[in-house]
Structure 1
């Protein structure tokens, strides 16, 4: 299948092409404003499907709205008609096509061209009126508030938030791309005269900004957002894509003593805490028990033994562990426990606890195994 994509270097175009290639669609004609115009004839002659994503929403001159959003659409359709190519055609429109502004009028004019073209040629036309689209590779300080907020907050730059109560309807770029590929395969999601992305997130601008600031703070607090919230998960992925390239990493606090070190890696309010424990040869750590707190230990390097004793019994239980075998050991409540490095190198243990450490309520009681 030969696929023509106009606006190939734009936000949606970039993401669509990347995923098409992932799915082994390799015969892609990429057309953008700097492409040799003579190639349009050849592309329109051969195309089996057209994604018409080209458009302008922040022109230097107001006249560019009609020139690009209407004018180029007209050129594209004329070229397809020239070669009697009635392949399916998708157009990227906007919910603003319903509004009385220059951008909306130009988008509505482009839609009307496709409707007339469909009636004339019998072509299957797919008109998508996208709401706000967000995700990686969207240009900041252009036409996306989410992209601008992510970019500026990641760089400690100021943002402008005139009315935090404004309600936004947003679609995520991966959901958009998935829907467009469904359309390519004849499985578009139609609603009346238009097609749509089935997953739409509704949230206020103020809530978006609050979330993004929490993402920035999470790196300092070694926490991560609630990934069970679909929008927060998508927005967090988007935010990370705007990190300055010299700030991908961040330092963790190492609590070091003569026994080794202990480092808190990730803390979450609902999924507990992950830490890295390093024990020097011959060192025993632990000798405590918990009422409710429970843990999982995974030795990833070195060798040792984890010992347990129910606090009201004398029987000692031993589990020998090693980085040579990936084995998780659960630490049940009511058992005092310790871990000893039996090797001659540092032993590294990944430790998970079901709750972040709270110094006010540590639920940790010293008792020798």
Structure 2
């Protein structure tokens, strides 16, 4: 299997980039920087890589740490590049659009780009400088990565966020940024969205209000879909499974599976014999809901690159819906003695050329 060497692999953007690489059946070899840097280990990870991606950085600290830490990380990454036995042919730097604004952070990012670029030139590698705006996405760190993460965290906890500095933001979903870093899509502003801080909060409040009822909010545009996926990454512990109201009489039983407020959708149905599992994959952008109609099952979820598994025991007599978080491997196993009947809903029509279904065992 081919591999990519990456600093910052365990951070927010690193996690998203590793998901994108898994879709291409490409392994990631992390390069630790800072106090954890070991040149011999970094050199081994770098050697034979198809590309090296430098993501690690500090964006919130005092001025001295902003300057020194970012430059240190770049120098360590550059050292690994220049000592690799078989250096990578492509070197990518996750830069920032703030690199030209004259701020301390911007100057640190600019200097780091120069260090990595010089190292790439010395080994004869192509250097790709990707300037990224404000990123948002699943599992961002509240009060650190972006205001979107902070808003989602507070709304999921039932709190009411406030806007202190209402300005226009240029936003890019982390999965789109990841695709740019691995050159699955061209780098540039074509996937960016402009929204004010107050407008962003209103969108997320609407999403939270609708989802609190068990319904799917309007996901008719990529931006709305990405905001919803971002928001629900903060609700796995608190919101799942979603209880559905079952109405039964002597004629039988009835319950609603889903209410969608906008966008496309596709519903499928399956039968599963006892002891059999379905799934063991994850999605990068697709929204998927499992609802057991009859029978008993266990639905399992695991955030990719982590070990903790969430298990939900479900039964058609007490119906619930379980939404699959993006970036989480999932499956459903028939744990009963009878055939399991399950409804599956996704927010997009299945495209065999772009299935967004990546094999990964729970």
Which TM bucket (shorter chain)?
0.5 to 0.7
Pairing of 1:146-225 with structure 2 (within 5 A): 146-164=148-166, 166-182=167-183, 189=186, 195-196=187-188, 198-225=190-217
CA distance, structure 2, for counterparts of residue 238 and residue 262 of structure 1: 32
Structure 2 unmatched runs, 5+: 267-292, 295-340, 344-362
**TM-fit CA distance, 1:47:** 3.2
The answer to whether structure 1 residue 63 and structure 2 residue 64 are counterparts is yes
Which structure has the higher relative contact order (CA within 8 Å, separation 6+)?
2
Deviation at 1:229, TM superposition (A): 1.7
2:278 maps to which residue? none
The structure 2 residue matched to 1:141, chosen from 140, 143, 150, is 143
Deviations for 1:305-346, whole angstroms, at most 9, x for unmatched residues?
xxxxxxxxxxxxxxxxxxxxxxxxxxxxxxxxxxxxxxxxxx
In 2, Cα distance between equivalents of 1:17 and 1:261 = 44
Matched ranges for 1:8-27 at <5 A? 8-26=9-27
Contact 1:266/1:273, CA 8 A, preserved across alignment:
no
**What root-mean-square deviation, in Å, do the aligned CA atoms of Structure 1 and Structure 2 show?**
3.3
Does structure 1 retain, via aligned residues, the 8 Å contact 2:248–2:254? yes
Q: 1:256 to 1:37 in 2, by over 3 A?
A: same
Counterpart in 2 of 1:238? Answer: 230
Q: CA deviation at 1:97?
A: 0.6
Task: Provide the aligned length of Structure 1 versus Structure 2.
Answer: 270
- Verify the 8 A CA contact 1:92 1:130 in the aligned structure 2: yes
Relative distance call for 1:253 and 1:7 in structure 2 (3 A) is same
**Distance across 2 between alignment mates of 1:31 and 1:119:** 20
CA contact (8 A) 2:217 2:262 kept: no
TM-score for both structures, normalised by structure 1: 0.64
Further displaced range: 101-110 or 173-182: 173-182
Counterparts of residues 272-287 of structure 1 (less than 5 Å) = none
Q: How far off its partner does 1:54 sit?
A: 0.8
Mapped contact 2:193–2:223 kept (Cα < 8 A): yes
Q: Cα distance, 1:79 vs. partner?
A: 3.4
**Distance in 2, Cα, partners of 1:54 & 1:221:** 39
**Map of 2:240 onto structure 1:** 248
Judge conservation of contact 1:6–1:32 (CA < 8 Å) in 2.
Answer: yes
Q: How far apart are the structure 1 equivalents of 2:235 and 2:138?
A: 11
Paired with 2:256 and 2:129, the residues of 1 have a C-alpha distance of 50
CA shift, 1:233, in A, is 0.9
Q: How does 1:212-361 map to 2 (within 5 A)?
A: 212-255=204-247, 259-268=251-260
- Per-residue CA deviation, residues 198-229 of structure 1 (Å, 9 max, x unaligned), is 41112222222112111221134443222222
Distance apart, 1:83 and its partner CA: 4.3
In 2: Cα distance, 1:118 partner to 1:163 partner:
39
For residue 95 of structure 2, give the secondary structure of its aligned residue in structure 1. Answer: strand
Whether contact under 8 Å (2:7, 2:77) holds in the other structure is no
Aligned residue in 1 for 2:44: 42
Counterpart position of 1:7: 8
- Is this contact kept in 1: 2:81–2:120, CA < 8 A? no
Deviation at 1:106, TM superposition (A): 0.3
| Secondary structure in 2 matching 1:140 | coil
The normalised TM-score by structure 2 is 0.65
**Cα shift at 1:182:** 2.4
Distance 1:79 1:70, change over 3 A: same
Report if the CA contact (8 A) 2:96-2:109 is conserved: yes
Match of 1:326 in 2: none
Instruction: Please say if residues 267 and 273 of structure 1, whose CA atoms lie closer than 8 Å, have aligned partners that are also in contact.
Output: no
Q: Secondary structure at the match of 1:4?
A: strand
